[in-house]
């Protein structure tokens, strides 16, 4: 690979692997990198469609690819301790959880949270945003919603993915993307091995990956500590509404 890129011929690196690899800087010299994981029997045709532009890439990383092999394992949802982070910031991830490029661009705007106070017993975090394909060709964006428990009785992750959805848009078109996340999904396991939801402040983060956060907001969960039973609401919901333009009328 190093000999090929030395020729300065535009080179696309295709990585077929079941795990992340530190590429030791070779990706900086390649024209592009395509991570296929283990694509199966139709993989060759799919890869050809992506490399020739017949299809627009829309996959997102389900693992974090580290900057250095010494940073393995790295988790986007790591925790902070009183003495700092257990993961050196200068290590971190080269390509974070949720990362992925395409042949177009998307703009996020107008985050709206329906209620800033959520009932701890049966409430839901309802939010919406506007997504626009600002590029020149059709593309699919994966809108991701992360939540952080600002203060809890136990150390909590810096962020956790709670909802996501795919949105396919033509160039210059917009859509309103809405999410409903049950308050039950803000739970964690306490020292007594109970799954609980605690009241308090939570930060809402919407973005294109775990590190590329576009919009932020905050909510308050109100009520008393609640222990969840076996039947708890563990699924978020998403809805996409395409916005019309003057040319549609």
Q: Give residue-wise pLDDT tens across range 192-209.
A: 999 999 999 999 999 999
Strand blocks (E) in the chain: 12-15, 32-35, 65-66, 93-95, 106-113, 117-119, 124-133, 139-149, 160-169, 174-182, 188-189, 195-197, 200-207, 213-222, 226-227, 237-242
In this predicted structure, which of 14-28, 161-175, 198-212 has the lowest mean pLDDT?
A: 14-28
The torsion defined by the Cα of 54, 38, 15 and 60, in degrees rounded to 10, comes to 70
Given a cut of 70, whether residue 23 has pLDDT beyond it is yes
- Looking at residue 248, the DSSP 8-state letter turns out to be G
The pair of structure tokens assigned to 130 is 């506007």
CB 238 within 8 A of CB 245: no
Specify the pLDDT at position 27: 86
Q: Which of 9, 14, 48 is nearest to 29 (CA)?
A: 9
Peptide bond into 162 cis (omega under 30): no
Q: What is the pLDDT of residue 65?
A: 85
Contact 195, 228 (CB under 8 A): yes
Q: What is the pLDDT of residue 66?
A: 80
The answer to whether 61 and 96 are in contact (CB under 8 A) is yes
Q: Where in the chain is the domain with CATH 2.60.40.10?
A: 106-248
The first and second tokens of residue 3, run together, are 């000999």
Which CATH fold would you assign to the domain 106-248?
Answer: Immunoglobulin-like (2.60.40)
How does pLDDT run across 100-147, given as a tens digit for each residue?
A: 999 999 999 999 999 999 999 999 999 999 999 999 999 999 999 999
- CATH number of the domain located at residue range(s) 2-95 in this protein: 3.40.50.1700
The model carries a pTM of 0.92
- If pLDDT is split at 50, 70 and 90, which confidence band does 73 have? confident
Distance CA 49, CA 155 (A): 45
Q: What pLDDT sits at residue 88?
A: 60
| DSSP designation for 172 | T
For the cut 60, the answer to whether the pLDDT of residue 169 exceeds it is yes
Alpha-carbon span 240 to 177, nearest angstrom: 5
For residues 22-33, average pLDDT: 86
Specify whether the CB–CB gap between 244 and 176 falls below 8 A: no
What residues have CB less than 8 Å from 93, skipping those under 6 apart? 64, 65, 66, 67, 71, 74, 76, 211
Residue given tokens 């039973």 in the structure block = 229
Max mean pLDDT among 6-10, 24-28, 73-77, 102-106 falls in: 102-106
Residues of the chain with pLDDT > 90, as a percent, come to 76
- Which DSSP string corresponds to 44-78? HHHHHHHHHTSS------SSPEESSGGG-S--TT-
- Domain limits, CATH 3.40.50.1700, in the chain: 2-95
pLDDT at 13 over 90: yes
What are the φ/ψ torsions at residue 53 (nearest 5 degrees)? 90, 5
Sign of the four-CA dihedral 72, 36, 139, 141:
negative
């Amino acid at each position: 690979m190093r000999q090929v890129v030395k020729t300065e011929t535009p080179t696309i690196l295709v990585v077929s692997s079941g795990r992340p690899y530190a590429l030791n800087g070779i990706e900086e010299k390649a024209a592009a990198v395509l991570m296929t994981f283990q694509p199966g029997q139709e993989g060759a045709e799919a890869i050809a469609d992506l490399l020739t532009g017949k299809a627009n890439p829309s996959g997102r990383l389900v693992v974090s690819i580290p900057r250095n092999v010494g940073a393995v394992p790295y988790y986007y949802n790591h925790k902070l301790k009183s003495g700092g982070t257990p993961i050196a910031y200068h290590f971190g991830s080269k390509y974070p959880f949720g990362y992925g490029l395409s042949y177009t661009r998307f703009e996020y705007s107008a985050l709206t949270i329906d209620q800033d106070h959520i009932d701890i017993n049966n409430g839901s975090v309802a939010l919406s945003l506007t997504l626009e394909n600002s590029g020149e060709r059709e593309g699919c964006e994966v809108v991701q919603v992360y939540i952080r428990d600002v203060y809890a009785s136990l150390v909590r992750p810096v962020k956790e993915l709670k909802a996501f959805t795919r949105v396919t848009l033509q160039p210059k078109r917009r859509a309103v993307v809405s999410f409903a996340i049950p308050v039950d999904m803000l739970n964690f396991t306490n020292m007594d091995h109970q799954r609980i939801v605690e009241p308090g402040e939570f930060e809402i983060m919407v973005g294109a990956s775990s590190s590329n956060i576009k919009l932020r907001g905050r909510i308050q969960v109100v009520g008393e500590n609640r222990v969840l039973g076996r039947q708890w609401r563990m699924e978020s919901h998403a809805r996409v509404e395409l916005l019309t333009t003057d040319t549609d009328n």
